[in-house]
Structure 1
Amino acid sequence: MNAFAEKAPIDIPYVPESATIDGNIQDPVWQKAKTIQIDNVTWPHDNIASPVKTKALVYENGSSLFVAFIAKDPNPEKIRVHYRDRDKIWNDDLVGLKIDSLNTSRNAYQFFINPLGVQLDSIEDELTKNENASWNGIWSSKGTISNDGYTVEVEIPLRVLNFDDSKKTKTMAMEFLRFLPRDERLRISNMQLDHSNSCWICQMPLFSGFEQAKQSSNITVTPALAIANTQTRDIDGAEIPDFSDETDYEPGLDVKWAITPDTTLNLTLNPDFSQVEADTGQLSVNNSFSLFFPEKRAFFLENDDYFSSHLNLVHTRNVASPDYGVKLTSSKQGHTFAGFVANDEMTNVLIPGNLGSSIVSLEQKSENAALRYRYDVDGSLSIGATSTVRQSENYRNQVFSLDSKYRPTKHDTVKLQATLTDTEYDQHFVDELCDDDPLADCELDESVLRVLNENDKQGLGYLASYEHNRKHWRAFASYRNYESAFRADMGFLSQVDFNKFVTGFEYRWYGEENNWWNRANWYTDWDITHNEDGELLEKEVQSSFKLQGPLQSIIEFGIDHRKRTGLRYDESVLSIDGNTDLFTENTQWAYFEMKPKAGVFAALTLNTGNRVDLANNRLGQRHLIKPTLNFNLGRHFEVKLRHTYERFEHEGEDVYTANLSDVRLTYQFGINSYIRLAVINLDIDRNQQKYLDEVDSRYKKLSTQLLYSYKLNPETVLFVGYSDSGYQDDDLTSITKDNKTFFAKFSYAWLL
C-alpha cells in the first residue's frame, strides 16, 4: 500500500560511468546525477523545515547505484562522529537511504554512513516491525569533513539487492535521509511522513530506471579457517585437576550463488559457527523462564527476514554446532520462499510450561529444517505458511503454521496466525531430565511432566491481533492461545498451556519547534492469562508516561499492578487452583536517558516493588538499579560500562543481593580494525537462612575476552583472541578458572 503509488515515479538517470568513491565530489559524472533535496524533519517533529541543508545526487550505471550526499552544517565542530566497528554508529551524524527494491512495502534495505565513511546496514521488516542490523552487504562508502559540513560518496552494487529484472524499467521505493544529533536527534527526509500510518515503508516515494540492470549468476566463495586451543577442567570436586588441552583446526567453506536473478543458494561446509563476540551479560537469579540470545552467525543471517512471521518459529541459534547447512531463498512478483537444512552435533531442546521452562541438551546428532512461503496478494494483504522439523534418534518435533497480515486502511492492521505442532520424546529425554535416575526416584517437576505426557503429542496455537493507529493515538487488542502440547522447538516460545488477552491504548503529543520538549506519550494496557483448564495464571494492568526533551533526553516512569500465581505446592501435578498461591505484585519504575555530547550516552533504570520470590514461593521486596555509561575518549577509544544491582528482601531481611558488571573497552584503529577487552563479572550473595532448599551462600563468576578484529568487508575478516571464565562457590575460596581458549579465525570472500 504505497502512498506514492498513484504519483509518477522519479527517474534515476543512467550514466555508464563509475564515480571514484573517495568522499570528494569532484568527478564530472555527478553533474549528470539527479538531485534529491533532503529538507523535511519527520522525527521527533511532524514534518517541519530542516534547520540544515542536505541534498543527494543519484544515478545508476546498470551494475551499481551511486549516491553522493552533501550535508551542510553551520557548526561543523559540533558534528558527532567516531571510528567504530561496522553497525555501531547509530548515535553519530549519519546520511543514508532506504530501498524497497521489490516495491512490495514489506522489506527495505537500509544503508547509513557517518562522516568518516563507517557503514551501518540492516533490513527493516514491516511484517514484524523489526530491523535486522546483523545483515551485512558488501558496498563502498567514503566520507570527508570540511569547514562547512561533510560529504559522503556511496556505491551500492545492485547484486546486494533483490529485484525483478524481468521488467525493462524497474521501480523501487526509496527514502533519502540525514540524522542530525544535537540537542535533539532530527530525522530529516526527502519525503513527508504521515504519523497516522504505522507503515513507514509504504510511504516511501517511487523511483524508476535501472533498464540495463541484470542480476547475473553471481557467486561468492568464502573459505575460512578457525583454530582454537581450548583448556578445560572440572573444578566441582575436592581436588582441582590440571587443565586438559585440545587444539582444533577447522577449515570451512561458504558459497553464495545467485542461481537466477530472484533465487539465491547458500551452502556451508564444516562451518565455524563459534561465537566471536561475547554475549551481553543477563541476570536470571529470580527468573523461571529461559533467556533469549540473538543470532549472530553469517550463514543463518543471510535473508533470515524471509523466515519471519508473527511468532518466533525459526530461531536458528537452536542449531548449535552444524557440519553443513543449505539454504535457498527466492522472491519474485509477490512470492517469497525460504528454506534451509542443517544438521547439528548436539540437540538442545527448550521444554516450555506455563510457570517456567528449561533446556535439555542431548549428546546426539539432530537434523533441522525450516520452510517459509509468503504471498503478497497486494499492498494490503499478505498470506504466509511456515513449517519446521527437528529430529534426532527417537525425538521429533514438527510444526506447520498459517499466518496473514491485512491492512484494510492505512490506520488499521489485522494479524492472524494458527500453528499445529506434533512432538514425540524418547526415553533419553526423561533420562536427561531425571539425571539418569529411575523414574520412581525422579524429582517430578513441570518439565518432566510435560515430556511424560505421551497422550498429548499434538498442540494447537493461534494468535489474533488488531490495531488502529492515528496521528495522536492508537488502540490495540490481541488474543493468543497455546495448548499444553504446543511445541515450536526450532523457534523460541518458552511458555505454553495458556491463553492471554491484551488490550491497550496510547496517546501521543508533539511539541512545537520552540518547546523545551519535543514528544510525549502515555501508554496503558490490561491483560489476563489462564491455562488450558481455565485456571487463572496472571492478571495485570500497567501504565507509563514518557517525555523526550533537551540533550536527547528521555524520562519515562510507570506502574505495574499484577496478580499472579506462585510455584506449585505439589510439582507432581500441573493443576493451578488449590495447588498454588495467588500473589499481588505492585511495581514502580523509572528510566532516564541522555546523550549530552558527542560520544556520551548515560542511562539509569530504577525498579522497586513487591515481587514473588520464585525460589521460596512468597512475596518480598525487590529493588533494581541498572546504570549504563558509554563514552568516547577522542574518536578512537570507547568505554562501555553496564551494571545491574538487584536486592531481594523478605520481612526486613535480605534474601539475596546480585551484582552483574559488563565492561567493554574498544580501541578502533580505523574503519577496518579494532581491539576490544570485555569483562563480565557476576556476584551473588544469598542468605541461606531465608531459603527453603540448600543453596550456596556465595557465587561468583568472571569471564574475560580480548579480541582483535580486522574486517576488509563483512565476509573477509580476521579475528584473533583469548577468552577465559571461572567461578567461585561455597566449596572454593576464590574464583577459579575452568576454561581458557585461544582462538583465531580467517575468512576471505571471492566475488566471481
Structure 2
Amino acid sequence: MFRSTSLTCALLLSFNIAAAPQVIDIPYIAQSASIDGEINEPVWQSAKEITINNVTWPHDNTPSPVSTTAYVYENGEALYIAFIAKDAKPEEIRAHYRDRDKIWNDDLVGIKIDSLNNRQNAYQFFINPLGVQMDSIENELTKNDNASWHGIWSSKGMIVEDGYRVEVKIPLRVLNFNDSPGRKTMAMEFLRFLPRSERLRISNMQLDHNNSCWICQMPAVSGFASAKQNSNLTITPALAVTHTQTRDIDGAIVPDFESETSYDPGLDVKWAVTPDTTLNLTLNPDFSQVEADTGQLSINNSFSLFFPEKRAFFLENSDYFSSHLNLVHTRNVSAPDYGIKATSSKSGHTFAGFIANDDATHVLIPGNLGSSIVSLEQKSENAAFRYRYDKGDELSVGATSTLRQSEDYQNQLVSIDAKYRPTKHDTIKLQAVGTDTQYDQHFINELCDDDPIDSCDINESVLRVQNQGEQRGTGYYASYEHNRKHWRAFGSYRNYDSAMRADLGFVSQVDFNKFVTGFEYRWYGDESNWWNRANWYSDWDITHNEDGELLEKEVQSNFKVQGPLQSTIQFGFDHRKRTGQRHDESLLNIDGNTDMFTENFQWMYLEMKPKAGVFAGLTLNTGNKLDIANNRLGQRYIVKPTLDFSLGRHFEVKLRHTYERLEHEGDNVYTANLSDARFTYQFGINSYVRLALINLDIERNQQKYIDDVDSQYKKLSTQLLYAYKLNPETVLFVGYSDSGYKDDDLSNITKDSKTFFAKFSYAWLR
C-alpha cells in the first residue's frame, strides 16, 4: 500500500552520530486526511516516509526490535502524521482509556517539534494505541517538561492484528513559528515508546549521550512554504456554579452549617495578535481547583510545602517565565478578578508578561530555619515580566521582574540570568536577584494575630518582618556542570541574604549561602546483562548564614540500577550535621543559640511495572532525625507504598500511603498515617468519573512534647468528580467535595465544609 523506503534514506538513517545533520523535507499536499485511524486514503501514498528504528534509551543507539513507520505531510494549515507500529505480539500492547496526559506507561507514538528551530523548547505530542493524547513542552533552559500545557489537536488510534495504527492532525495554529514567506525550517523527532520488560525509547535519529541537550540534536525539517499564522482567536466563555456549606467547629459546641450559592460567569480570550505574539485575557475566572491536590505530610517540617500550578490561564506559555530560580510561581495568586498575559518569541527574542489582581494576599515569609505564610484579607496587584535572548543553543541571557503590592505591603524583584554552553559537555548557569520589600504595621500585626508586639509569640518570621532596616535584599546563583556519556561532575553556589524576598515566586529560605559539589557515574548494559542502566551519585554541601555561622553540612550518596519488568532498585545514605531550633526565639543568631545535631539515615526505593496497567513502588527510610518541635534527635521510620492497577482498559485504582513514626529514647513521639486513594472509571477518551479519598491520622505522645499539642488529629477529605472534555478548553465538571477533622475536643470526625460545584466552558475557534 505504501512505497518502500529508498536506499538513500535508509543509509542516512543508519549514519553514526558524527555524520552530517539529517534534513527532512516535508511535502505540501493540499488534501486533508480523515483522522479515523484507518490510514487507507490515497493522500498517504504521497507523504514523506520516515523510519523509526533506533533505540536511544535505555540503550545506546541499538536496532529496534519492532518496525515503526511514520508518514508525514502538511497542507499549510496542519501537520498530518500516520504511524504504523508493528508488533509480533499485539496481545502485549499496553493501552488504556485514561484522562489526557495520564498515559505515560502505555505504548506510545509521537513527535517532538522545535517549531522555531532555536533549540530551546520543543512541543511534544504523544498518542497511545487507543488515540488518547498526551502533550507537553520541553524546556532546555530548565530541563523540565511542562506537562500542563494543552494544545487542541486531533488523533485516532486502532489496535490491529499486527500492531496498531495512529493518525494525527496538529493544526499549525497551536505552534509558534516564523511565518515569513518561503520554506521554513523547524526541527522534529519521531518517536515510539515500547514498554515491555524494558521501556524502549525508539527514534528516527541517533542520540549522542555525550550531549546533554537532546533538543539540539533533533533533525532539521524543511517545508511549510505556504503556512501562515492568521489572527487565531479563541473565545472561551465559562460558568461556574458553587454551593458551599461551612461551619467553625473549633470549640465544644458544633454550630449549624452556613450556606452560600454563587453563580460566576467568566471569559477567557486567546488572540494571536501576530504570528509571534499571543495575548491572553481572563475576566472573572473561577480559579478554584477542580481536582484535589495529592496529599502531602508535613508533621516534622518547618518549611512551607510546594504545590504545582494547574490553572489554564497561568499555564499558557508558562515556560516563557522560567529561569534557574523559581521567581514566578503563580499559585501565589489565588482568586483574581482579571488577568492579562502577553507572550512573544521571534528570532531568539522571547518576552512574557502578565498582570492580575487577587481578592486576597498570601505572602510566604522565609527564614533560614523555617518559613510561614501571612494571609491578608485585602486585594493585591501582581505582575511578572520576563525577557530572554537565545543565541543558538550556546548562550541564553534573560531578565525577570515581578511586583506584588497591597495596602500594607509591597515586594519588587529584578533579576538577570545567563546560561552558557561553551562545548556540548559544559554548562554554566548564572543568576543575580535584587529585591525591595516594605511591610507596614498592619502586616506585622497579622503575624501576631493582632496581639501587641510586646505580647506577641515572637518567632523567626516576626523578626524578619519587623526588621525594616533590611528592605533591600540580593541573591546569587552560579553553577557549572561537565557532562560526559559515562560521568558528570558539577558544582553550584547559592547566596540569599536575609532581606531577599521573591514573593511572587517560591523561595522558602533566605539568610544562607550554600555550596554543593558532586559526581555521578553511569553504566550502560547490553543484551548480555540482566540490567540495562546503573548509576552511582554522590554530593557534598555546606551551608552558612550571612554571619558565617554553620547551618548545615551534608554528604549523601546513592546507587541505582534498572532491570527487568521495568524495575528500579535505588539505595543510599545521608550524613548531615544541622542546627536545631533557636533556644531564644527573639534572637536570630545561630552560635550560642542553637544546638548542632548529627543525622544519619539510610533509604531504599523500589519500583516495577511487571505488566500492563500495574505499577508498584516502595520507599523505606530509617535513621536518626531532628525532632523539630522538641529540638532533639529522635529515631525516624518512614514507609511509603504505592500501587496503581487497572481492571480492564477503563477502570483504574491509585493507592498512596505514607507511614511515619518518630521515637525518642524508645518512646513514641508521634505516628502519622496519610492515605490517598483514587478510583477512576474512564468511559472513553472524553469522559470519566473519579472518587478521591484523602485520610490523615496523627497520634502524638503529649508527654514527649514541650508545648501543648493534641494527642490525636484526624482529617478526611473526599471528592466525587464527573468530567467531560471535548478538548482541553471545552469541558464540563460536576462534583461534590467535603472535609472534616477530629482533635481532642471532638469525639469523631466532624465535617466543616461541603461543596457542590458545576463548571462549564466552551471554546470557539476563529
The AA in structure 1 aligned to 2:162 is D
CA contact (8 A) 1:5 1:206 kept: no
CA contact (8 A) 2:295 2:674 kept: yes
Match of 2:209 in 1: 195
Match of 2:141 in 1: 127
Match of 1:652 in 2: 666
2:481 to 462, 467, 471: 467
Q: Give the Cα separation in 2 of the matches to 1:221 and 1:592.
A: 47
The reply on whether 1:511 has 2:525 as its aligned counterpart is yes
Report 1:365-404 matches (<5 A). Answer: 365-404=379-418
The reply on whether 1:575 has 2:589 as its aligned counterpart is yes
Match of 2:515 in 1: 501
- Number of corresponding residues: 750
Q: Give the Cα separation in 1 of the matches to 2:190 and 2:532.
A: 23
Q: Give the Cα separation in 2 of the matches to 1:530 and 1:7.
A: 48
Q: Give the Cα separation in 1 of the matches to 2:478 and 2:162.
A: 53
1:143 to 147, 154, 157: 157
Cα distance, 1:167 vs. partner? 4.4
CA contact (8 A) 2:411 2:437 kept: yes
Q: Give the Cα separation in 2 of the matches to 1:487 and 1:168.
A: 48
The reply on whether 1:309 has 2:353 as its aligned counterpart is no
The reply on whether 1:168 has 2:158 as its aligned counterpart is no
**What do residues 619-664 of structure 1 show as CA deviations (whole Å, max 9, x unaligned)?**
0000000000000000000000000000000000000000000000
1:78 to 74, 83, 92: 92
The DSSP-based 3-state class of the residue aligned with 1:355 is coil
Cα distance, 1:6 vs. partner? 6.0
Of 424-433 and 405-414, the range deviating more from structure 2 = 424-433
The reply on whether 1:342 has 2:365 as its aligned counterpart is no
Q: 5+ residue gaps in structure 2?
A: 1-16
CA contact (8 A) 1:4 1:203 kept: no
Q: Give the Cα separation in 2 of the matches to 1:570 and 1:238.
A: 34
Q: 5+ residue gaps in structure 1?
A: none
TM-score by length of 1: 0.99
Q: Give the Cα separation in 2 of the matches to 1:167 and 1:556.
A: 53
Match of 1:427 in 2: 441
CA contact (8 A) 1:4 1:205 kept: no
CA contact (8 A) 1:4 1:204 kept: no
Match of 1:68 in 2: 82
2:709 to 695, 698, 707: 695
Cα distance, 1:168 vs. partner? 1.6
Q: Give the Cα separation in 1 of the matches to 2:472 and 2:181.
A: 46
2:455 to 441, 454, 468: 441
The DSSP-based 3-state class of the residue aligned with 2:461 is helix
CA contact (8 A) 2:22 2:219 kept: no
The reply on whether 1:324 has 2:338 as its aligned counterpart is yes
Cα distance, 1:23 vs. partner? 0.4
The AA in structure 2 aligned to 1:723 is S
The DSSP-based 3-state class of the residue aligned with 2:616 is strand
**What do residues 532-563 of structure 1 show as CA deviations (whole Å, max 9, x unaligned)?**
00000000000000000000000000000000
2:608 to 589, 594, 604: 594
Match of 1:220 in 2: 234
1:737 to 731, 746, 751: 751
**What do residues 313-341 of structure 1 show as CA deviations (whole Å, max 9, x unaligned)?**
00000000000000000000000000000
Match of 2:500 in 1: 486
* Fraction of identical pairs, as percent: 79
Q: Give the Cα separation in 1 of the matches to 2:407 and 2:393.
A: 45
CA contact (8 A) 1:4 1:206 kept: no
CA contact (8 A) 1:38 1:190 kept: yes
CA contact (8 A) 2:403 2:411 kept: yes
**What do residues 224-247 of structure 1 show as CA deviations (whole Å, max 9, x unaligned)?**
000000000000112111000000
The AA in structure 1 aligned to 2:186 is M
Cα distance, 1:378 vs. partner? 2.9
Of 249-258 and 507-516, the range deviating more from structure 2 = 507-516
Q: Give the Cα separation in 2 of the matches to 1:206 and 1:6.
A: 11
Cα distance, 1:426 vs. partner? 1.2
1:524 to 538, 561, 567: 538
The AA in structure 1 aligned to 2:333 is V
The AA in structure 2 aligned to 1:246 is E
**What do residues 161-194 of structure 1 show as CA deviations (whole Å, max 9, x unaligned)?**
0001124211111000000000000000001111
The AA in structure 2 aligned to 1:654 is N
The reply on whether 1:11 has 2:25 as its aligned counterpart is yes
CA contact (8 A) 1:9 1:171 kept: no
Going from structure 1 to structure 2, the CA distance change for 1:655 and 1:8 (only over 3 Å counts) comes to closer
Q: Give the Cα separation in 2 of the matches to 1:574 and 1:386.
A: 31
Q: Give the Cα separation in 2 of the matches to 1:416 and 1:478.
A: 10
Match of 2:262 in 1: 248
TM-score by length of 2: 0.97
Cα distance, 1:7 vs. partner? 3.2
Q: Which runs of 4+ in 1 moved over 3 A?
A: 3-8
Cα distance, 1:10 vs. partner? 1.4
2:431 to 377, 394, 417: 417
Q: Give the Cα separation in 1 of the matches to 2:596 and 2:408.
A: 39
The reply on whether 1:638 has 2:638 as its aligned counterpart is no
CA contact (8 A) 2:524 2:534 kept: yes
The DSSP-based 3-state class of the residue aligned with 2:726 is strand
